[in-house]
Amino acid sequence: MTWDYLIVGAGFAGAVLAERLASQRGATCLVIDKRAHIAGNAYDRYDAAGVLIHTYGPHYFRTNSDRIVAYLSQFTEWHHVDYKILSWTDGRHWQFPINLNTFEQLLGRASTSEEMERTLAEWRVPFESPRNSEEVIISRVGRRLYEMFFKNYTRKQWKRDPSELDASVCGRIPIRTNRDDRFVSDKFQALPKDGYTAMFAKILAHPKIEVRLNTDFREARKSVQFRHLIYTGPVDEYFDHCFGALPYRTIRFEEETLPVEYHQPAMQVNFPNDYEYTRVVEMKQATGQKLPVTTIVREYPEDFGPGREPYYPIPAPDTRALSERYAERAAQERGVSFVGRLATYRYYNMDQIVGMALAEFEKLRPLGPT
């Protein structure tokens, strides 16, 4: 048969587009993924101890968009949770992101928002428009806090100095002078009640959608017939790296189950200055699962290479020049839509990818009769 759409990737971008095209346009969609599961990097699963964990790092859903919440709520109920994390440095846990409580920890006494604002005003290094991740943080909190919490974490994570990364990388971490100690500020913060994989199973459960796992596009393109392609894999791979390989960062996830109810004082502890891992995540604290054991996951950032997953595009001036060449090439490719984090080489969160997929659906013209 000839499919209306061949969709490469069963992550947010691919699944949302398949659902829209099947349910709103009656289109037949074949969704393939080279992995053995749906949900892309948002995939979660119960491990051998029965703990629901996020296989590819913590995925904290958050958004300010009512439209995106309404769309996803067709497929899941929500477990509301304020994401709260800590940072470990100088032999102790610190409130993070930086807020008034962190400032009090630093002073060793009670303080006020006014005092914190006055002090930060003295510590700040002014920049009219910060051009990189070092400038953006020192322009908000000065060098001392930058060096405590950002400089070495960023070097570990990206193998680059913050001065070589776009301001948006570290700039996405809020800095507050009140006592709001949530990791992110978005008005909606919740996890799918039964997990991401269960939500994706519902998104994809449409009679016009077929999912084939363990199926690589490079093989499938030889045999599958289709009218339009939606590609959510790495854009450089699609074009056989014709302009050179785009750089990515990858992560090695080390899981450990422990015979205790909880291992650490928060769902996530960051380690800017100690150890080779960047953070330790205890997802059970976010999901609210009640169990006598727990599983933690340590994240070791590593170089990307053959056989490894390209988890992070690297937002920086040099990579942008190369990714723009691919974007121009992609715009010329007839009958193909490039959607999602890897296909557009953007460091985007899940809600942004859902938004991108919904916008692409609006843009796609109906295919018309065969």
Binding site for ligand FAD (CB under 6 A): 8-14, 32-35, 40-42, 56-61, 216-218, 232-233, 251, 311-312, 340-342, 348-351, 353
Query: What does 350 interact with, of ligand FAD, ligand UDP, none (CB < 5 to 8 A by kind)?
Result: ligand FAD
Query: What does 10 interact with, of ligand UDP, ligand FAD, none (CB < 5 to 8 A by kind)?
Result: ligand FAD
Question: Which residue is it, tokens 């190369």?
Answer: 322
Query: What does 8 interact with, of ligand FAD, ligand UDP, none (CB < 5 to 8 A by kind)?
Result: ligand FAD
Query: How does DSSP assign 194-237, residue by residue?
Result: T-HHHHHHHHT--TTEEEE-S--HHHHHHH-EEEEEEE-S-HHH
DSSP class of residue 132 equals B
Query: What does 3 interact with, of ligand UDP, ligand FAD, none (CB < 5 to 8 A by kind)?
Result: none
Q: How far is the CB of 46 from ligand UDP (least distance, A)?
A: 22
Query: What does 304 interact with, of ligand UDP, ligand FAD, none (CB < 5 to 8 A by kind)?
Result: none
Return the number of the residue (103 or 338) whose C-beta is nearest ligand FAD. Answer: 338
Return the number of the residue (9 or 272) whose C-beta is nearest ligand UDP. Answer: 272
Q: How far is the CB of 241 from ligand FAD (least distance, A)?
A: 13
Return the number of the residue (15 or 173) whose C-beta is nearest ligand UDP. Answer: 173
Q: Tell me the C-alpha distance between 178 and 187, whole Å.
A: 17
Q: Please calculate the CA angle 303-349-211 and round it to the nearest 5 degrees.
A: 85
Reference 285, options 270, 299, 264, 271; nearest CA is 264
In sequence order, what E strands does the chain have?
A: 2-8, 29-32, 44-46, 52-54, 62-63, 78-80, 85-89, 92-96, 188-192, 209-212, 225-231, 248-258, 268-270, 279-281, 294-303, 312-313, 336-338
Query: What does 338 interact with, of ligand FAD, ligand UDP, none (CB < 5 to 8 A by kind)?
Result: none
Q: How far is the CB of 151 from ligand UDP (least distance, A)?
A: 7
Give the pair of three-digit tokens for residue 149.
Answer: 């919490």
* CA-to-CA dists, residue 348 to 117, 151, 169, 179, angstroms: 31, 22, 11, 27
Return the number of the residue (15 or 145) whose C-beta is nearest ligand FAD. Answer: 15
Return the number of the residue (86 or 116) whose C-beta is nearest ligand FAD. Answer: 86
Query: What does 32 interact with, of ligand FAD, ligand UDP, none (CB < 5 to 8 A by kind)?
Result: ligand FAD
Query: How does DSSP assign 271-299, residue by residue?
Result: -SSSSS-SEEE-THHHHT---SSEEEEEE
Q: How far is the CB of 43 from ligand FAD (least distance, A)?
A: 8
Q: Tell me the C-alpha distance between 335 and 105, whole Å.
A: 57
Return the number of the residue (146 or 361) whose C-beta is nearest ligand UDP. Answer: 146
Identity of the residue numbered 138: I
Return the number of the residue (21 or 251) whose C-beta is nearest ligand UDP. Answer: 251
Residue nearest to ligand FAD (CB): 40
Give the pair of three-digit tokens for residue 98.
Answer: 């930086």
Query: What does 149 interact with, of ligand UDP, ligand FAD, none (CB < 5 to 8 A by kind)?
Result: ligand UDP
Q: How far is the CB of 334 from ligand UDP (least distance, A)?
A: 34
Return the number of the residue (173 or 353) whose C-beta is nearest ligand FAD. Answer: 353
Q: How far is the CB of 302 from ligand FAD (least distance, A)?
A: 12
Contacts 24+ apart (CB under 8 A), 110-113: 113/177, 113/178
Q: How far is the CB of 76 from ligand FAD (least distance, A)?
A: 15
Query: What does 150 interact with, of ligand FAD, ligand UDP, none (CB < 5 to 8 A by kind)?
Result: ligand UDP
| CB neighbour class for 211 (10 Å; exposed up to 12, middle 13-18, buried from 19) | buried
Q: Please calculate the CA angle 266-77-29 and round it to the nearest 5 degrees.
A: 115
Q: Which residues bind ligand UDP (CB under 6 A)?
A: 87, 96, 149-150, 153-154, 157, 169-170, 172-173, 270, 272
Q: Tell me the C-alpha distance between 133 and 172, whole Å.
A: 10
Please report which helix (H) or strand (E) contains residue 16, including its range.
helix 12-25
Q: How far is the CB of 259 from ligand FAD (least distance, A)?
A: 27
